[in-house]
Chain A
Amino acid sequence: MNRLVACALALLPAAAFAQRQYIDVGSPDFRPMALALPGFQAAPEALADATDALQTLRDDLALTSVFELLDPRSFLADPREGLSSIRFQRWADVGAEGLVKGAIRRDSQGLAGELHLYDVRAGREVLYRVYREKTARSLAHRFADDITQYYTREPGVFRTRVAVVRKSNGAREIVAFDADGKASEVLYRDATILLLPTWRPDGAEILFTSYRGGKPEIWALRLADRSTRLVVALGELSTGAVYSPDGRQIAFTASVDGNSDIYLLNADGSGLRRLTTDPGTDTSPTWSPDGRRLAFVSNRSGNPHIYVMNADGTQQRRLTFQGTYNQTPRWSPRGDLIAFTARDERKVFDVFVVSPDTGKVARVTQDQGLTNEEPSWAPNGRLLAFVSDRTGRPELVISNPAGDRQHVVTTDADPLGNPSWGPMPQ
């Protein structure tokens, strides 16, 4: 015994003064949360609505990239369980971490929906909402936004819309899709070329480039009455207009005397000023979320690359040095990334993101068709919309910025292009 004590005492100082080594482990894989969505309860007159709402909710949540929806075939929903008497262990056994229960009923005033969200591990209800909406899809979008908000503490984007340009029967249309690629609505149709729609921050207006005046000009479409107005026609070409985040200014590209540059205009049409003067082609401006900087494309170094400058045109600097044809930059609403299209060494167009601070480039799409292009950020900055020909024709794809969760959300017979994700509903 004494020997043991002696040994311990002798070893004590070595242990006490030996420094512990530390290692760093980072870059985790983000694992989607397992959610179970059994069928919604509904009276016979609302069965179709309940089915529609559940499918829409499943589609929405699948797009978020943060949920893994359990296959309904992997569990048998107990019809006696109801909305509140939950057998949590049973759901835990099938791997559910969250459980969504809903009920839909139809009456003279439309549809009413009831949402219950349960934390299966904690064994308690964590969210309860009741809504009235006109359609089952609207109800489901609200549910999806609430569930997303609860888990991520950030607003959901399922009541926003994505505007795209569609070539249809020789004309061009500005079409708005729900974020899940459904419920398309033609907002504007023009027999001439129509390009690059972008939303005003309040969602009330869309800027676009039109050739209706015989050359590219910037027009605005007011959504309330679908009226249009000419915003600016400068030089030989005016195109690619984007509102500043506060809606007070418009940045755009204009070619005057053969030199394409970035210009700025007050929203009321006054205060035109030129931001770039380089003899190279400067185009495709996009605002930083704080409105203090702009990213744009310039070929002043020989090939098109992404550049950044202050909103007054000062401190222009090159941001990308990889690739030979980088274009269509879009600054994330979070400010931490700029998404863009680039042509790689195989002449394939893919979507990338670059940090405006470090210049580090990461790939979003890879080996998925020949063209993935024109990314646009969701207003919460968690998702990207872009067009891809991976299914044979250009369709809308929703992806997380890491690119490991991508969904082709449209099956439109006509080619789509120039997506622009709209703002949150006002």
Chain B
Amino acid sequence: MQAFGEAQHPDRLWTVLAVSLVVHGAILSLGVLGRPGPAGDLEQKPIIAKLVRFGEARPEQWLPRRDVPAPEPAPAAAVPVPAPAAPAAPVAPPAANAKPPQPHPASPGNGKGSDALERALSRVRKDQALAARETWGDPSGSAEGTATGASEGDRYLALVTQALQSNYRLPATISEQERLHLLATVVLIIEPDGRVSKLRFEQHSGNDAFDQALERAVKQARLPPPPPELQQRYRTIGLGVHFRV
């Protein structure tokens, strides 16, 4: 029996190899004839999306605001208020007809003063409202959005981009001149749970500090699990990432 099995083994292998060659040939032929691939649109170049923040669009003619929070004021900094008119003058009791600095309600009958005060208060309220509105977005955006501009595309790749982006930190010592030319490409093997099981450089930048920073960014990033139809793809051929400055 065993001898029979050993005798059969090579024949089966040859059969399988023959079948495999036929399958290879068929797929090659399909590729040559330019037939579309079977797995949806996997071969298309992805369009990266950012989640657009929900909100009113900032007028184009206005000067831009920074999305990042303003830096902390200097330790000795005071609240930015206009300097008092006469700081060196001794504090004197207010004159009988002097108006108090606080916005008390105007006395009835003083229509002119009341209007002026109301206009001033209105202006202050408007400025405060503008100052309070730190973020702008798009009326059709998402509450989870972070971008001011709009684009469409693959949600998963957008989330991967966002995860990598948030950990993409380079040494500030890299000079401006070097920054102009730095580019590296890595291939990430992504497990179905989103874990990066392997990172391989397809193209090094030539700057060790830059390459090391990319590795740190990938290690620190928490990628979302790929959608089921893409899990096999990212686990086998991986996802390429071009890191630029």
Which residues from chain A sit less than 8 Å from chain B, CB to CB?
2, 5-6, 9-10, 12-15, 17-33, 65-67, 151-154, 321-323, 334, 342, 344-347, 350, 352, 361-363, 366-370, 381-382, 389-393, 403-408, 411
Contact = CB atoms under 8 A, between A and B. Distances in A.
16 contacts: A10-B20, A18-B233, A20-B238, A22-B45, A25-B241, A27-B168, A28-B245, A29-B168, A30-B174, A33-B171, A334-B176, A367-B131, A370-B80, A390-B74, A404-B71, A406-B71
Identify the interface centre among B12, B20, B63, B242: most chain A CB within 10 Å of its CB. Answer: B63
Interface in B40-69: 42-43, 45-46, 48, 59-66, 68
Interface stretch (B111-119, B138-146, B156-164): B156-164
A5 B39 contact: no
A361 B78 CA distance: 29
B62 A345 contact: yes
A346 B80 contact: no
A14 B82 CA distance: 69
A287 B29 CA distance: 63
* A-B complex: 4 closest residue pairs judged by Cβ atoms: A369-B80, A22-B240, A9-B20, A151-B173
B70 A366 contact: yes
Contacts of A19: 42-43
Given A23-B157, A346-B131, A389 B83 contact: yes
Interface string B9-44: 100110011011001100110010000010100110
A22 B46 CA distance: 7
A347 B244 CA distance: 37
Interface of B: 9, 12-13, 16-17, 19-20, 23-24, 27-28, 31, 37, 39, 42-43, 45-46, 48, 59-66, 68, 70-71, 73-74, 76-78, 80-83, 127, 130-131, 157, 160-161, 164-165, 168-178, 185, 187, 213, 217, 233, 236-245
A33 B173 contact: yes
Contacts of B61: 321-323
A391 B233 contact: no
A366 to B, nearest CB: 5
A4 to B, nearest CB: 10
A363 B67 CA distance: 10
A390 B168 CA distance: 32
Nearest to A26: B244
B171 A31 contact: yes
Contacts of A363: 63-66
B18 to A, nearest CB: 11
Contacts of B48: 23-24
A117 B245 CA distance: 28
Contacts of B73: 368, 390
A21 B157 contact: yes
Contacts of A18: 37, 39, 42-43, 233, 237
Given A29-B168, A390-B77, 15 more contacts: A2-B12, A5-B13, A21-B239, A22-B45, A23-B46, A24-B48, A24-B241, A26-B243, A27-B168, A151-B173, A153-B175, A154-B175, A154-B176, A392-B80, A411-B76
Contact of A6 (B20, B43, B62, B213): B20
A329 to B, nearest CB: 15
Given A25-B241, A322-B62, A346-B127, A392 B173 contact: no
Contacts of A31: 169-172, 213
A30 B217 CA distance: 12
B170 A28 contact: yes
B73 to A, nearest CB: 6
A9 to B, nearest CB: 4
A2 B19 CA distance: 13
Given A322-B61, A389-B83, A403-B71, A23 B242 contact: yes
Contacts of B176: 154, 334, 381-382
A342 B65 CA distance: 12
A15 B173 contact: no
A13 B68 CA distance: 47
Given A344-B62, A346-B127, A370 B82 contact: yes
Given A368-B73, A389-B83, A352 B63 contact: yes
Contact of B173 (A17, A66, A405, A407): A66
Contact of B240 (A20, A366, A390): A20
Nearest to A399: B71
Contact of A21 (B46, B68, B76, B81): B46
B127 to A, nearest CB: 5
A305 to B, nearest CB: 11
B237 A20 contact: yes
A13 B25 CA distance: 9
Identify the interface centre among B127, B164, B176: most chain A CB within 10 Å of its CB. Answer: B176
A322 B28 contact: no
A30 B16 contact: no
B80 A21 contact: no
A195 B28 CA distance: 77
Contacts of B16: 2, 5-6, 9
